[in-house]
Amino acid sequence: DAKTTQPPSMDCAEGRAANLPCNHSTISGNEYVYWYRQIHSQGPQYIIHGLKNNETNEMASLIITEDRKSSTLILPHATLRDTAVYYCIVRVNYGGSQGNLIFGKGTKLSVKP
Amino acid sequence: SQTIHQWPATLVQPVGSPLSLECTVEGTSNPNLYWYRQAAGRGLQLLFYSVGIGQISSEVPQNLSASRPQDRQFILSSKKLLLSDSGFYLCAWNDLGGRTYNEQFFGPGTRLTVL
């Protein structure tokens, strides 16, 4: 079972920031927070990951609370092409079955013009 | 650069017929390989993963099986399909120990309809 809880859906206006929350209250000290997204009828795409510090790359920013029990993925200027299902996943960063990605139901983000 | 291929892209099969889906990866060696299934309206479910030739781990018991006859080839099979096997099948890879380990790279998928 997924170790994360996400809202099933969110809307965002084009050009505005999209803030997608994720709860992971049972996260272990060696587990990272990963975000993937899946555009309709395509395979998932990696976005970003982090352990406890905030992270930023060309796609998004990841804000992790100090107690690591929740995080927020931020798309700073959402476009229509960002419409997708966004998955928040916690996993360890080494091999074996514990390192496998376990996908929950994610948040369906709809970016509207 | 690395690429991942899956075929066929779409497949319609009758109940009770056999299944063989193929996935190949180019541009890397000894990758971890994964099979996922996404049923209509549901999340991705990990079915099998492999860390090397002939090494298969099953995550969910079912009438499907997987094989890895070559380093960069991963095959998903069934002897007799069920209606519940319909879905979107995705193959993925990553590189344990390499810089790509933090990501899994997914193929284009096979949409299977069992009638």
Cα distance between the two ends of chain A: 35
Give chain B's contact residues with A (Cβ, < 8 Å).
32, 34, 36, 42-46, 49, 51, 57, 59, 88, 90, 92, 96-97, 101-109, 111
pLDDT attached to residue A99: 67
pLDDT attached to residue A97: 60
Nearest to B108 among A43, A104, A105 (CB): A43
pLDDT attached to residue A98: 56
Nearest to A102 among B46, B97, B103 (CB): B46
CB A28 within 8 A of CB A3: no
Confidence bin at B101 (pLDDT 50/70/90): low
Judged against a pLDDT cut of 60, whether residue B98 lies above it is answered with no
Per residue in A16-74, pLDDT (tens digit) is 999 999 999 999 888 899 999 999 889 999 999 999 989 999 999 999 999 999 999 99
pLDDT attached to residue A95: 60
Judged against a pLDDT cut of 60, whether residue B106 lies above it is answered with yes
Taking the CA of residue B6 and the nearest CA in chain A, the distance in Å comes to: 11
Taking the CA of residue B57 and the nearest CA in chain A, the distance in Å comes to: 9
User: Which residues does chain B have within 8 Å of residue A103's beta carbon, measured at their own beta carbons?
Assistant: 36, 43-46
At B102, phi and psi to the nearest 5? -70, -15
pLDDT attached to residue B96: 67
Interface contact flag, B59 A97, Cβ < 8 Å: yes
Alpha helices in chain A (DSSP H): none
Nearest to A101 among B104, B107, B111 (CB): B104
Judged against a pLDDT cut of 80, whether residue B31 lies above it is answered with yes
Judged against a pLDDT cut of 60, whether residue B100 lies above it is answered with no
Distance CA A31, CA A23 (A): 14
At A87, phi and psi to the nearest 5? -110, 130
CB B105 within 8 A of CB B93: yes
Calculate the CA A24 to chain-centre distance.
Answer: 11
Confidence bin at B25 (pLDDT 50/70/90): very high
